[in-house]
Amino acid sequence: MSAPQQVQDVAAPRKRKSRVLSVLGVVVGVVVGYVVITPVIRGEDTPQPTVGESAAPRAANAGDRASAAQAALDAETHCEKAVAERLNSPVTPGFPEAHETSLAGLGHEVRGVVDSQDGSGASVRSTFECTVFPVGAGQFSVTVTELSEQ
């Protein structure tokens, strides 16, 4: 008869432990809920990052913008060089306008106008379009897709 009594004695501390853990879980949940929800109910703003915390993302964004601007400038430069090589008189080209468009971060499309001279020395204005893709560190693949006189 003492064996069944022994089983009950072992089971009783486990039940108490699980009840204590359950009550503790409820208390922790209530405290966390209060801390999170109270400012929302009061209409208080969420804490703002300090100057040091928010400066790093801004610096990274500024670096990204500078890098993107440099990539656009590189694309225009490489495109203009490729266009100049295809002109009849590549010594005298002028590029009064060029516009770069990013191609989903993969490359660039550059469109613009080039002023040059034909074989007789007369001024000629042409439109051009290029695609420029980086293929390595400082290496670019440039394709002149359009070069036509106006």
Q: Can you give the pLDDT of all 150 residues of the chain as single tens digits? A: 555 555 555 555 666 677 777 777 777 777 776 766 766 676 666 555 555 555 555 555 666 677 878 888 888 999 999 999 988 776 678 888 888 888 877 899 999 999 988 777 788 899 999 999 988 877 889 999 999 887
Which pLDDT does position 50 carry in this prediction? 57
Query: What is the chain's Cα-based Rg?
Result: 35
- Cα separation, 110 vs 145, in Å, equals 10
Q: Hunting for tokens 């009950």 — which residue is that?
A: 8
Which pLDDT does position 5 carry in this prediction? 53
Helices (H), the chain: 2-42, 51-86
- Cβ atoms of 145 and 92 closer than 8 Å: no
- Cα separation, 71 vs 100, in Å, equals 10
pLDDT tens, residue by residue, 63-104: 667 787 888 888 899 999 999 998 877 667 888 888 888 887
- Cβ atoms of 149 and 126 closer than 8 Å: yes
